[in-house]
Structure 1
Amino acid sequence: MAINLEKGQRISLEKSNGSKLQNICVGINWGAIEKKGLFGFGSSKEAVDLDASCALYNDSKQLEEVVYFGNLKSKNGAVKHSGDDLTGDLGGDDGLDNEVITVDLGALAPTTTYVAFVLNSFRGQDFGSIPFASLRVYEGTPKRVNEVFAKYNITGGNFAGHVSMVLGVFYKRNGEWKFNAIGEPTKDKKLQETVQTVTQQYL
């Protein structure tokens, strides 16, 4: 049974059968903006380019590397990005993730202690104007969902007026991985700025 995450909630990565979650996917699903025609007649869809990214840090909170649309795989292959989606769901919510980042927690470098996920609106489109956007953490692959572990609606709350946000952070404590659902918009405009905000505030 999936946990509906609340902002700031921390959860352990243990499945319903008691085993630990090792191979996880973080998927982002979002919609295109509907534009009303002149005098309310007709409408059109405006493509939305959201970018999910993953930043890896060591125990000293030093940045190791960033996996994003320009770097689709971590050096050791433990983190992989499905590729850049430039439009969102133009035909309404198809229920599928537009971008997926997969993480093999067991294959991460021993030095990696934090795995942070952020979301940026590449063209500067306001989160408040996007009809739907959600995050889900699940076991499986980008094409096969074995078990949805947690889901998180990122359109609710005070996201209007922002184009960047921190989704959440996986962190290792006493050899076990846990997840902190942050869900905080930031004043940042670009990925590099958002990663700096994570370093300063959310690890």
Structure 2
Amino acid sequence: MAINLEKGQKISLDKEAGVTLSKIIMGLAWDAVKSKGFLGFGGSAPDIDLDASCILFDEQGHPVDAVWFRQLKSKDGSVMHTGDNRTGEGDGDDEQIVVDLTRVPANIKSLVFTVNSFTGQNFSQIANATCRIVNASDGKEVARFNLSALGSHNAQIMAKLYRHNNEWKMHAIGEIGNGRTFDELMPQITPHL
């Protein structure tokens, strides 16, 4: 059973999963906007485009690489984005970032996951927005964030995966922010490294 993550919580991914994790998926899901109006009249609301990103940092806290909708694969190939969903249409995860922990280069100390509303809506306006970490080998959810409960912010620094004593651990940062892309969150991310 997955942990509903709270801000500042630290967990061992292996202990929560019950196995040594070799590949994880960060899944992001939200509901598409339903058209409004009386008997079909009155138009529709603009689409909601949430974006999942993963930034790779070295031991000194410098960004080495980033995986997001404009770069779907890390230079080393260990982190891959499945593609940009611009509406939230469909069931299950709308965007995924797959991390092969066994292939993350030794010089990478931490991976930071963020979620941004590229279209600018705040999380209180977005139905059923969730972010989760899944064990890719068995599909079991390890941890989950409810983004819709966050209120009037349009970005979140979700979590940091980091190496500690040859094990991957996760720090649930859960810090809200504002920005259409992860670049705008960098001043908020660096104190967590």
The aligned counterpart of 2:169 is 178
How far residue 197 of structure 1 moved from its aligned partner, in angstroms, is 2.1
The aligned counterpart of 1:202 is 192
Give runs of aligned pairs for residues 108-147 of structure 1, distance below 5 A: 108-140=104-136, 146-147=139-140
How far residue 34 of structure 1 moved from its aligned partner, in angstroms, is 3.6
How far residue 146 of structure 1 moved from its aligned partner, in angstroms, is 2.4
Q: Normalized against structure 1, the TM-score is what?
A: 0.85
Give runs of aligned pairs for residues 20-169 of structure 1, distance below 5 A: 20-34=20-34, 36-37=36-37, 44=44, 46-89=46-89, 94=91, 96-140=92-136, 146-157=139-150, 159-160=151-152, 162-169=153-160
Q: Deviations over 1:155-199 (max 9, x none)?
A: 113x31x22211111011122110111222113343211134212
In the alignment, the residues of structure 2 paired with residue 165 and residue 82 of structure 1 have an alpha-carbon distance, to the nearest angstrom, of 20
How far residue 3 of structure 1 moved from its aligned partner, in angstroms, is 1.6
In the alignment, the residues of structure 2 paired with residue 190 and residue 69 of structure 1 have an alpha-carbon distance, to the nearest angstrom, of 10
Task: Indicate conservation of the 8 Å contact 1:119/1:165, yes or no.
Answer: yes
Task: Indicate conservation of the 8 Å contact 1:15/1:21, yes or no.
Answer: no
Task: Indicate conservation of the 8 Å contact 2:17/2:142, yes or no.
Answer: no
Task: Indicate conservation of the 8 Å contact 1:85/1:99, yes or no.
Answer: yes
The yes-or-no answer on 1:9 pairing with 2:9 is: yes
Task: Indicate conservation of the 8 Å contact 1:154/1:183, yes or no.
Answer: no
In the alignment, the residues of structure 2 paired with residue 16 and residue 194 of structure 1 have an alpha-carbon distance, to the nearest angstrom, of 28
Percent of residue pairs identical: 40
How far residue 129 of structure 1 moved from its aligned partner, in angstroms, is 0.7
Task: Indicate conservation of the 8 Å contact 2:159/2:172, yes or no.
Answer: yes
How far residue 6 of structure 1 moved from its aligned partner, in angstroms, is 1.6
In the alignment, the residues of structure 2 paired with residue 198 and residue 122 of structure 1 have an alpha-carbon distance, to the nearest angstrom, of 18
Q: Which has the higher strand share?
A: 1
In the alignment, the residues of structure 2 paired with residue 192 and residue 35 of structure 1 have an alpha-carbon distance, to the nearest angstrom, of 32
Q: SS where residue 148 of structure 2 aligns?
A: coil
AA at the equivalent of 2:60: S
Task: Indicate conservation of the 8 Å contact 1:32/1:46, yes or no.
Answer: no
Task: Indicate conservation of the 8 Å contact 2:123/2:149, yes or no.
Answer: no
* CA distance 1:16–1:183, shift in 2 (3 Å): closer
Q: SS where residue 56 of structure 2 aligns?
A: strand
In the alignment, the residues of structure 2 paired with residue 118 and residue 188 of structure 1 have an alpha-carbon distance, to the nearest angstrom, of 11
